[in-house]
Chains A and B, each alone.
Chain A
Amino acid sequence: MSVPLTLLGLLEREPSHGYDLKRDYDTYFGRGRPLPFGQVYATLGRLARDGKVVMGEVGPGEGPDRKRYVITELGATEVRTWLSEPVEPEPHLQTVLFAKVVLTLMLGRPAEEYLDLQRAAHLRRMRELTEIKRGDSLVDGLLADHGLFHLEADLRWIELTTARLEQLAKAVRS
């Protein structure tokens, strides 16, 4: 998650105070890892230095939260470019799962039992995510869906690998 680009994106909606940006970031993107205030203001400072945001009018009161930040054309262009670029597909070709299966077979141990345990662990996590999906928040549900589809992909790999264990054992022991 790119914090500077996400904050810029939030600013493109409307000029905002640092506090509002932190609140919205934590609500939609933080997921149990709130953004420290220090990081919010340090990031905004760097974005201002690079000409991507400017300070708007200063409200009454004291402290840094008096400042409203406004996105510049440069910042808006950067957000538009970022949002239009596809994310790098991550094939995860060297996963721990893969390494454990291959090593288990190399060592002559029963990989099927490991895969059964892994399947159970995946399904347990999928049940937790399904419970989240069945809650009221569509945003939480959408994020849970992302996790569910990835876990499902792992499970398909587990099923296929289970079906090919004999062949795989021969291949890695030869």
Chain B
Amino acid sequence: MHTTESSETLNTIIEVKDFNFAYGESQALFDIDIDIKEKEVTAFIGPSGCGKSTFLRCFNRMNDLIDIARIKSGSININGINIYDDSVDVIELRKHVGMVFQKSNPFPKSIYENIAYGLRIQGVKDKSKLDQVVEECLRGAAIWDEVKDRLHDSALGMSGGQQQRLCIARALAVKPKILLMDEPCSALDPIATAKVEELIHELKKDYTIIIVTHNMQQAARVSDKTAFFYLGKLIEFDQTDHIFMQPSNPQTEAYVSGRFG
């Protein structure tokens, strides 16, 4: 495990080495090396189709769902364990690595049942335990005050921003260590976006967050570190300030200043 020169005392939680990933014959990710620190917000930016979402979905092996997806070489270690090892239980992994999707996808059940789902599938039946977790998660996602009076109404009656925060709350219910967010605000208006960003700030205390975003201002606002991807390659990865103020790579500079992408 190599440590960067910076003076952080944070532990590395995700360690990616020489990661090559392909959909069938077309390679999507080339030789990615990246270390992600615990309890930091890392933003992935880059133009559409650059592989940032694909990379994000490698962390909880969501790409397993795609038949033709395969790892060509390299490894992703989370807490020192190679998650692509045969012995790894994907279900267990996904409990530790939660995910929030681009399109909010609350289940067509009540708000309460949405949050409780993660526990119910683990066989938790204790009502008081469920009640407690639901409240905890909704508070954690800063949405409790808005929904506490209608916990048993359909989650689909909520606004788009509330739905997305509900999905974040739902992800928290299984107590993950890492939270993956795939363009969580792309379908939200500025006010709802601000609320989600505020929430990300709050969650940083307890969770490691990786966020994919198209919105560079958002990356600048919420993240500690930013990784710039282009054509399946990791071009630059550094402190967010560095990336936006004085990027060392000319491509990064061109992208963040809006000259392409």
Partners in one complex: no
Interface residues of A (CB under 8 A from B): none
